[in-house]
Amino acid sequence: MDASAIAALDFTRLGPPKGTRIAVVGGCGGIGRALVGASLEIGMKVAVLDLPSSLQRHTPPNTCLQHAIDATDEVSVNAAFDAIDQAWGGLDVMVNLCGFTNEFEPVAEMTSDTWDEITDGNLRSAFLCVRAALPLLKKSGHGAIINTASGLAYKGLAGTSPYGAAKAGVIALSKSLANENAPDIRVNVIAPGAVDTAFLRGGTSRTGDDENHPTHINTERYADATPMKRLAVVDDVVAPILFLSGDASRFITGQVIHINGGGFMP
């Protein structure tokens, strides 16, 4: 492409423009709700996909499309994206925040059911949502996918093997997708460290936002070991997602953006 034909960027606006159509899988979680709110604030059209119980517990604003799904169920996922296509005639951005883990457990003590549950909830769900979204994103001609991984895909922390393996799979899946769908669709990954949400305290869309669960980690020790000396908050994750969704990141694809305050530098 001739460089002179590439449109100039508006550096006062690094996120997507008003009217961008975004689907947020897991839009009722802590990060998801913040992303939905920010997207609406800048004038985007938003579809929220989550479990029925999550949509009931954290009902999105009535300006959003809302679709109840089980992200591990092929029929459920396909129906939701078909409905989005019927409503909007395509899609510009798909953000996949779906994922969970259980209490830390070594492989020697783990059942195959636990392994399947966690890997399906993190990797199969990503595959199903991406596959269903691709035809809609291709209609846009400049679509973007942002998947969610974790530093645990690299670090191999004891007790997190199915979660880490699944998130490593999400990264590999995303890199293949970036090659398969360029230049029309960009595919990138965010890999947050510990984020101060109910997820960190054992709450998920599957179990409810129970703030009284013990944390998976010692948060004070974690913060002290992080160069930025704190945990991430939701806005620390929302901002990079919006950046990766818009034209300011138009030449970035197949990349993993680590959001961890410097606690992990691969």
Q: Residue 202 has what pLDDT?
A: 52
Q: Is the pLDDT of residue 214 over 60?
A: no
What is the CB neighbour count within 10 angstroms for residue 3? 5
Cis-peptide into 183, omega within 30 deg: yes
Is residue 222 over pLDDT 90? no
Higher-confidence position of 138 and 222: 138
What local confidence, expressed as pLDDT, does residue 103 receive? 86
Q: How confident is the model at residue 201 (pLDDT cuts 50, 70, 90)?
A: low
Query: What pLDDT score was predicted for residue 76?
Result: 98
Q: Is the pLDDT of residue 220 over 80?
A: yes
Q: What's the confidence (pLDDT) of residue 207?
A: 53
Average model confidence (pLDDT) for the chain?
A: 91
* Domains, in order of start, for the chain: 17-259 (3.40.50.720)
pLDDT digits (tens, 9 = 90+) for 33-55: 999 999 999 999 999 999 999 99
- Calculate what percentage of the chain has a pLDDT beyond 70: 89
Q: Yes or no: say if 39 and 22 are a contact pair by the CB < 8 Å rule.
A: yes
Buried b (16+ CB within 10 A) or exposed e, 131-148: ebbbebbeebeebbbbbb
